Amino acid sequence: MIDWAAVDARLRPLAAQAAPARLLSLDVALPALPQPNLAAADDWCAWQRPAQELRLWGFGAAFHVTSAGAGRFCALDAAWRGLCAHWRHDGVAPRAFLGFAFAPAGGEPLPNARLWVPELLLCAEQGKTRLTLATPAAAAATAPRRWQAAWRRLFAPAAVPPAPTFRIKRHRLAEEAFLARGRAALAAIATGRLSKLVLTRSLALELAAPLEPAALIATLAAQQPGCAIYGIGRGPASFIGASPETLLAADGESICVDALAGTAWPEAARALDDEKNRREHECVATAIRAALEGLASGIAMPAAPEVMSLAGLTHLRRRITAKRRPAVSLFDLVARLFPTPAIGGAPTPAALAWLAAHGEERSAWYTGGLGWLDAAGDGDIAIALRCGLFAGNAATLHAGAGFVAGSVPEQELAETEAKLATLLEALAALRRRQEAAA
């Protein structure tokens, strides 16, 4: 499928350029996107937009930088600008991945914030497939040999994984703790110092066998085509989900941000367009529009939200569009927008302080962000929602709900159950399909 001698011949002139370079990369056209064997990869990332016919698979890291703390986005921006100034590429604008946790500290077992360029990046986009190969310039002489070895490992025939049977480990005390925090949140909101707080909870699963991540990602893509489907693997752990919420999509000077708040499901006690859901939505939309001011012009927000329909859930959504001002980077926008009241609360500083003081814990990159950016300045970052952290025979699923005046804690708990069903139903569907094929 790949002419490695031709790859070597194309790499040599890139490496021989007089200008100093930190990273070299080139594109190779492929007839189709093969299915990788993720068991052969210690460092992988998946990103899919089924509705846009976009699928990305990244393996290894030819370049990576991590950061944490209040200045983490500024630090990553500086590293990205420095890399792009010394990146020699033969092909279309190359992509990197970006992921980060909700808070400026934490994120285990993932780094708090990470920016990286895969050694191998598979891209299927609008009917065309290509492979981007990247290497540090200092290691260019041995790169073709490393790439070829990695390709053989990733696409060697693999055994059919066992069906993902699982047992839910429910703890009534954990549910009672969520309800108690919800009542405390409503008491804080009643003081007038806060208008919204987002509380989260987790659900533990016991798996009969370790999960095969690629199969779950494919199942989510089939069940949730309107979402961003994502996954990242570091060693034995994988973090996988299907997000309905775009933090930031940038295409040239045009940017788009989702205001997503207000949720209903078939058994919900509230209608999607009731007063509580609409008030919660307005809080998020207004904050996002305000965050864009100064960094963008021509900010346009629909007068009323639309209904976003997913499998089992509906949301109120506005797509807020604008034009970013010259010299404003994707990182500048992320730093200004994140976290939105949809995942933290409002006003943001007071909400974050309340959550920290009341033991809010979010593992990995849950309610953080994950996506891609390219050397042309474009990118697509989603909020990491409807997700789970898988490690060996254990999994932890995450879900949250927004509390505003008028919220009922029991109804918000039910909302988290409806959101947890996204992954539970995907795991069940995968099990049925694999059992039928056995």
Catalytic residues: 196, 245
Report residue 341: phi and psi, to 5°.
Answer: -60, -15
Tell me which DSSP letter residue 49 carries: E
Amino acid occupying residue 372: W
Question: What's the CA gap between 139 and 158, in Å, rounded?
Answer: 30
With beta carbons less than 8 A apart as the criterion, state whether 314 and 259 touch: no
Question: What's the CA gap between 331 and 73, in Å, rounded?
Answer: 6
CB atoms within 10 A of CB 207: 18
Helices (H), 296-399: 330-337, 348-357
Q: Distance of alpha carbon 81 from its chain centroid, rounded?
A: 22
Tell me which DSSP letter residue 112 carries: S
Helices (H) and strands (E) in the chain, counts: 9, 23
Total length of the chain: 438
Q: Which of 280, 285, 404, 262 is nearest to 337 (CA)?
A: 285
Q: Is 303 exposed, middle or buried (0-12, 13-18, 19+ CB in 10 A)?
A: exposed
- Mode of pairing for the β-strands spanning 246-251 and 95-100: unpaired
Tell me which DSSP letter residue 118 carries: -
Q: Which residues pair with 207 in a beta bridge?
A: 166
Q: Which of 328, 342, 258 is nearest to 293 (CA)?
A: 328
Q: Which residues pair with 243 in a beta bridge?
A: 228
With beta carbons less than 8 A apart as the criterion, state whether 400 and 418 touch: no
With beta carbons less than 8 A apart as the criterion, state whether 276 and 401 touch: no
With beta carbons less than 8 A apart as the criterion, state whether 129 and 123 touch: yes
Question: What's the CA gap between 164 and 393, in Å, rounded?
Answer: 10
Question: What's the CA gap between 426 and 438, in Å, rounded?
Answer: 18
Three-state DSSP class for residue 245: coil
Q: Which of 282, 269, 104 is nearest to 195 (CA)?
A: 282
With beta carbons less than 8 A apart as the criterion, state whether 26 and 4 touch: no
